[in-house]
Amino acid sequence: MSVTSKKGLDYWLPKLVLSPTVAIAIIFIYGFIIWTSVISLTDSTILPRYDFVGFEQYVKLFQNPRWLSSLWNLVVFGTLFIGVCMVVGLVLAILLDQQIRAEGALRTVYLYPMALSFIVTGTVWKWLLNPTVGIERFIHNLGWESFQFDWIVNPDMAIYTVVIAGVWQSSGFVMAIFLAGLRGIDTSIIKAAQLDGASLFSVYSRIIIPSMRPVFFSAFIMLAHLAIKSFDLIVALTGGGPGNATDVPAIFMYQFSFQRGRLGIGAASAVIMLMTILAILIPYLYSELRKPKDA
Amino acid sequence: MFKKTLMAMAMGGTLAAGAQAGEIEVMHWWTSGGEARAISVLKEMVEDEGHTWIDFAVAGGGGENAYTVLRSRAVSGNPPAAAQIKGLEIQEWGDLGFLANLDDVADANNWDAQLPTVVADFMKHDGEYVATPVNVHRVNWMWANPAVFESAGVEIPTTMDELWEAADALKAAGVTPIAHGGQAWQDATTFESIVLAVGGADFFEDVFVEHDQDALQSDTMIESLEQFKRVSNYIDQGAPGRDWNVATGMVIRGEAAMQFMGDWAKGEFTAAGLEPGSDYICAPFPGTEDAFTFNIDSLAMFKQPNASSTEAQMAMAGLVLSDEFQQTFNLNKGSIPVRTDMDMSAFDSCAVEAMDTFKSTAANGGLVPSMAHGMSTTSSVQGAIYDTVTEFFNSRSMTAEQAATQMARAIRAAQ
């Protein structure tokens, strides 16, 4: 009896307060994931219709050259975006960590792009990169007539302009994460290493960076999901063009589901996007989260 | 006192309506200046009949946003009374059983006699009228700046060969020959005009309506693709992603010589205070003067749960084809009326020419549905064509043969 009385209001109140949030998450996240998966197995066109056709939509999806090129674009964009953001963010963080003057002001400058939405970033970079109004024309007007910077209208290079704009927007944020990580490291270890005669470079490469594993992990997760769901930046910057040169899965999914009345194939592409995220996350989560137990 | 007023109001309402007054909710995306003025005419006319108009405008040029809203409303069992749906989308909604039968209004107003058969067929599902046409746009137009042509010493082209000669001369004179916006639908708009010029109206139908696999991979198709690719030599570097009205602005300012665009471009010239014939030229796309690629806007009527709404809906369907609405709406929109028996004296020379071609092609053949604007095929096949056309236009390595094969395959997969 005393056990049940202990499980009174104190026990139930947190659960009670949390339950609406949990219910909403279950319905609107996991419920809709399941629903999308179900739709992807049907031949739905403009409206959901429950005539099941097995994996036909997935077969059609992977026969579609535009889907394949959008996947490849995602690989190129994702790798470069995550890689460059990490490197730039880490370098900025290390430089800012050298007890420099006006650190607060500089930190704000680097972090500011994050305050803009991707739509604003995309539009500004679209103008800057447009050869007829932007950087190229500016340099021409300065007198360097042969200067050429037309990546945004060049189908082979356009995807890199998306990387430039994305890195400009997100690397400051990565810097902030890394800076917090750097500050969290126990200074006594560093001092001990310095007493042992370690150079600044080896202090960073042997002690500080390895001990920031969890920070890398968080930054990677943040950037990976930004990359895979990237939509607004590309819509504003290139509209998926020239041609389909900067098409990515999110744009493909939106167009097929909502503009072309092919809900089935759109749902199939959404499921593949989810699978891609899971394929990256699960092994990483597994390897990262089991570590503390081993130690 | 209050009760009396209420009664008077109620009586007034009844008297004005004559029949049962109902509510009608109209979903559309006629939201830009001229378009909004155009549709407000219909609103006033419906309200004069005593019905209540609920405006449900969803902005967003191509109507994607509106379609998304419409779908969710339809799924939840609460569709608007009328929605701006066009082309084969009408058939898709008809197949799903959402659309109301307008045959009574159509019979009473003699639509069968007033509308060209090609137009009427689009408004019917299983032989019953389910939608009412609002206007007709001609897509195969070329908009030219005569001053630019004159200074380069070339005539306005009337055939494809003349087009390339003129383009070379214009390029040599230092202007951008063709104002183009590199968006998939604009690429497709130019492409379909070239298919029409190279292959003619019958070939156009084989390819874009029948999706005949042999025609899609024929030499005529490859020739069309090659001609289309030549356009890319005559556009400027800033073209990718440019909106169509910005491209029209280049022609207006004389930075570019011509643009291939439907007659909604006329609105831009009119807004700039220019006169057709002298300040700008509207000519059929070179080699397509005997053909008419049509793009018809229409309002599809959804089944309504109550009788009064249905009544309002039927009244509106009748009003859409009235002389007054057809004239005012189309003057504002830049298009031409769907009824071929209208007096065209209020319209400008471009619209009069479009109407003449519309009538003659409706009688003699050459009136073809626009692929780029969703008239000839479902949005899914249209999208498949868009993908190939825009990829080919922007690619540096894809050959015309590869593009033809890829398009044929993409169409088959999307059907």
pLDDT, one tens digit per residue, over B287-335 is 999 999 999 999 999 998 888 888 889 999 999 999 889 998 898 888 9
Chain A contact set for B390 (CB, 8 A): 241, 243-244
ipTM: 0.80
In a domain, A222, yes or no: yes
How large is the average pLDDT for residues A164-189?
A: 90
With 50 as the cut, is the pLDDT of residue A285 above it?
yes
In a domain, A232, yes or no: yes
Q: Strand pairing partners for B55?
A: B26
Cα–Cα distance, A77 to A72 (Å, whole number): 9
| Confidence tier at B16 by pLDDT (50, 70, 90) | very low
Q: How close, in Å, is residue B239 to chain A by CA atoms?
A: 8
Q: Say which range, A198-212, B273-287, B299-313, has the weakest mean pLDDT.
A: A198-212
CATH of the domain at A99: 1.10.3720.10
Cα–Cα distance, A188 to A94 (Å, whole number): 18
How large is the average pLDDT for residues A96-123?
A: 88
How large is the average pLDDT for residues B209-217?
A: 94
B383 vs A65: CB contact, 8 Å cut-off? no
In a domain, A49, yes or no: no
Cα–Cα distance, A90 to A178 (Å, whole number): 6
Chain A contact set for B383 (CB, 8 A): 255-256, 259-260, 262
B383 vs A156: CB contact, 8 Å cut-off? no
Residues with Cβ within 8 Å of residue B259, at least 6 apart in sequence: B142, B143, B178, B179, B180, B244, B247, B248, B250, B251, B265
Q: How close, in Å, is residue A153 to chain B by CA atoms?
A: 6
A243 vs B393: CB contact, 8 Å cut-off? yes
Chain A contact set for B93 (CB, 8 A): 46
| Confidence tier at A6 by pLDDT (50, 70, 90) | low
CA quadruple A266, A271, A275, A278: dihedral positive or negative?
positive
B129, B95 Cβ separation under 8 angstroms = no
In a domain, A46, yes or no: no
Tokens of B294: 């049509």
A135, A164 Cβ separation under 8 angstroms = no
Chain A contact set for B239 (CB, 8 A): 153
Domain hosting A101: range is 64-294
Instruction: Give the DSSP letter string of A215-277.
Output: HHHHHHHHHHHHHHT--HHHHHHTTT-STTTT--HHHHHHIIIIISS-HHHHHHHHHHHHHHH
Q: Say which range, A117-121, B35-39, B212-216, B221-225, has the weakest mean pLDDT.
A: B35-39
Q: How close, in Å, is residue B371 to chain A by CA atoms?
A: 14
With 50 as the cut, is the pLDDT of residue A166 above it?
yes
pLDDT for B12 equals 41
Mean per-residue pLDDT over chain B, rounded: 88
- For chain B, list the domains and their CATH numbers: 10-137+296-345 (3.40.190.10), 141-293+354-414 (3.40.190.10)
Mean per-residue pLDDT over chain A, rounded: 88
Give the number of other CB atoms < 10 A from CB of residue B204.
28
In a domain, A5, yes or no: no
A152 vs B64: CB contact, 8 Å cut-off? no
For B51, phi then psi, to 5°, come to -90, 165
For B297, phi then psi, to 5°, come to -85, 145
Select from B74, B238, B387 the Cβ nearest to the Cβ of A47.
B74
**Domains identified in chain A, total number:** 1
B183 vs A239: CB contact, 8 Å cut-off? yes
Q: Which helix (H) or strand (E) holds B295?
A: strand B292-301
Q: Say which range, A36-50, A77-91, A217-231, B50-64, has the weakest mean pLDDT.
A: B50-64
In a domain, A71, yes or no: yes
pLDDT, one tens digit per residue, over A217-254 is 889 888 988 898 889 999 999 888 788 889 999 999 99
In a domain, A247, yes or no: yes
In a domain, A13, yes or no: no
Cα–Cα distance, B305 to A189 (Å, whole number): 76
Cα–Cα distance, B299 to B304 (Å, whole number): 15
Select from A60, A131, A259 the Cβ nearest to the Cβ of B237.
A131
With 70 as the cut, is the pLDDT of residue B248 above it?
yes
| Confidence tier at B1 by pLDDT (50, 70, 90) | very low
B394 vs A156: CB contact, 8 Å cut-off? no
